[in-house]
Amino acid sequence: MTVSVQDRIIAIIAEQAVLDPEQVLPSSSLEDLGIDSLGLVESIFAIEEAFDITVPFNANDPVQSEFDISSVAAIVRAVETLIADQKG
């Protein structure tokens, strides 16, 4: 069975937040999980490495970046779109 995009992202975020994967919910925001700006940049790097994609993200203005980081579910959707766009 292949691991879903969501499970892999949750594993990355859980590791960054030093939490168990069960504690990371799709509705959680990174802020809820205690991930700061450095943790966010590191998570995005881990996502790029895991899925072999390039994530458009500028730390100067995360809100304006094309990559939605408002919740774990939003990140999963954004990564799925990037995988389809970049590897399709």
Partner 1 sequence: MRRVVITGAGTINALGHTVPETFEAFREGRCGIGELSIRDVERLSIRIGGQVLDYDPEVHFNRQQIALYDRFTQFTLMAARQAIAQSGLNFDGTLGYESGVVLGTAAGGTTTWDENYRAVYEEGKNRVHPFVVPKLMNSAAASHVSMEWNLRGPAFTVSTACASSNHAMGQAFQMVRSGMCKAMITGGSEAMLCFGGIKAWEGLRVMSRDACRPFSANRNGMVQGEGAGVFVFEDYDHARARGAEMLAEVIGFAMSSDASDIVMPSQQGAERAITGALRDARLNPEDVGYINAHGTGTAANDKTESAAVAHAFGHHADRLMISSTKSMHGHLIGGTGAVELLACIMALKDGVIAPTIGYEEPDPECALDVVPNVAREAKVEVCLSNAFAFGGLNAVIALRRAA
Interface residue list for partner 1 (CB under 8 A): 37-38, 41, 44-45, 54, 57-61
Q: Whole-number minimum distance, CB 82 to partner 1, in Å?
A: 15
Taking the C-alpha atoms of residue 63 and residue 17, their distance in angstroms, rounded to an integer, is 21
Which amino acid makes up residue 65?
Answer: S
Residue tagged 């691991």 (tokens):
3
Taking the C-alpha atoms of residue 29 and residue 25, their distance in angstroms, rounded to an integer, is 9
In the bound state with partner 1, the residue whose beta carbon lies nearer, of 2 and 60, is 60
In the bound state with partner 1, the residue whose beta carbon lies nearer, of 22 and 85, is 85
In the bound state with partner 1, the residue whose beta carbon lies nearer, of 21 and 56, is 56
